Amino acid sequence: TIVLNNPRRRNALSLPMLQSLRRDLLHDVKSRELRVIVIAAEGPVFCSGHDLKELLSEDDVKHHSQVFELCAEVMTLIQKLPVPVIAKVNGLATAAGCQLVASCDIAVASEKSQFATPGVNIGLFCSTPAVALGRSLPRKVALEMLFTGEPLSAHEALMHGLVSKVVPEDKLEEETMKISQKICESSKSVLALGKATFYRQITQDLDAAYKITTKVMVDNLTLRDGQEGIEAFVQKRKPVWSH
């Protein structure tokens, strides 16, 4: 579990916070023991997005580029990791904080959570958050959020596909752990192959997507755990994964 822990700054994605998040996401990433990553946060705001104090000077183009490039790197890194990444959201997620939720593989939110891209209201359109948002939500819903800055409630976010589940606040930890433990019952190598393939095929047209996934299904059968799972099913026993 990685916890965004700067509630006084509303867990803003400052340059140091982004550097820390990247470091933590990559920590022990090749370990067989690592099976799921959960991103959580302290305080009433999950993440408020970029630290606007870092973006005040119009002359500091180099620093601004560094901030946005690192942010893009972290968001794409989440989908390149070999294990599922779950956002555990309990509060407000805005701008790049909303982008972070949209970039995770799964998102579980408490009923009090809200999601918004309010950059337009301060003259900084949420163009980079729009990348993740536009890939998670129907286009017209994403554009309404981007054009107006108005928030989605947790249940609206669920209805439109930004989050996977909405639960009462006191059930958030339990539900997140339930999903995590279910993931841990499967083979790490099979999940890693499946996750990488999902993101690879989702941007392709139908024919290309089937071409990619047909080959991957064959590759999956060459994995030790691919054979072990089928043998266990046929023999009516629990599989013993090698990962």
The amino acid at 102:
A
Cβ(20)–Cβ(6) below 8 Å: no
What are the residues facing 152 on neighbouring strands? Answer: 115
- For the sheet with 92-94, list strands across it: 45-47, 92-94, 114-116, 152-153
74 and 100 part of one domain = yes
**Ramachandran area for residue 42 (φ above 0: left; ψ -120 to 50: alpha; else beta):** beta
Residue 195 lies in a domain: yes
The amino acid at 158:
L
For the chain, how many structural domains are there in total? 2
pLDDT for the residue numbered 60: 87
Which CATH number does the domain housing residue 107 bear?
Answer: 3.90.226.10
Please give the Cα distance from 163 to 107 (Å, whole number). 5
81 and 136 part of one domain = yes
Domain boundary among 159, 184, 209: 184
pLDDT for the residue numbered 28: 93
Low-confidence stretches of the chain (pLDDT < 50) are none
Please give the helix or strand (H or E) that residue 231 lies within, else none. helix 224-234
Structure token digits, residue 21: 């998040």
Structure token digits, residue 6: 């700067």
104 and 217 part of one domain = no
pLDDT for the residue numbered 77: 98
67 and 129 part of one domain = yes
91 and 205 part of one domain = no
pLDDT for the residue numbered 56: 86
| DSSP 3-state of 202 | coil
125 and 152 part of one domain = yes
pLDDT for the residue numbered 192: 97
Residue 199 belongs to what domain range?
A: 187-235
Closest listed residue to residue 84, CA positions, set 218, 214, 222, 179: 179
201 and 175 part of one domain = no
pLDDT for the residue numbered 194: 98
pLDDT for the residue numbered 10: 97
169 and 111 part of one domain = yes
| DSSP 3-state of 161 | coil
Q: Any idea what the Cα angle at residue 55 is, between residues 52 and 58, rounded to 5°?
A: 145
98 and 120 part of one domain = yes
Residue 241 lies in a domain: no
Closest listed residue to residue 92, CA positions, set 124, 147, 48: 48
Task: List pLDDT tens digits, range 167-217.
Answer: 999 999 999 999 999 999 999 999 999 999 999 999 999 999 999 999 999
pLDDT for the residue numbered 47: 98
Length of the chain: 243
192 and 136 part of one domain = no
pLDDT for the residue numbered 57: 79
196 and 144 part of one domain = no
Cβ(110)–Cβ(167) below 8 Å: yes
At CB < 8 A and 24+ separation, what contacts does 177-181 make? 179/86, 179/106, 179/108, 180/35, 180/36, 180/38, 180/86
197 and 136 part of one domain = no
Half-sphere exposure of 98 (CA within 13 A, CB side): 33
Which CATH number does the domain housing residue 208 bear?
Answer: 1.10.12.10
Domain boundary among 184, 203, 222: 184
pLDDT for the residue numbered 58: 73
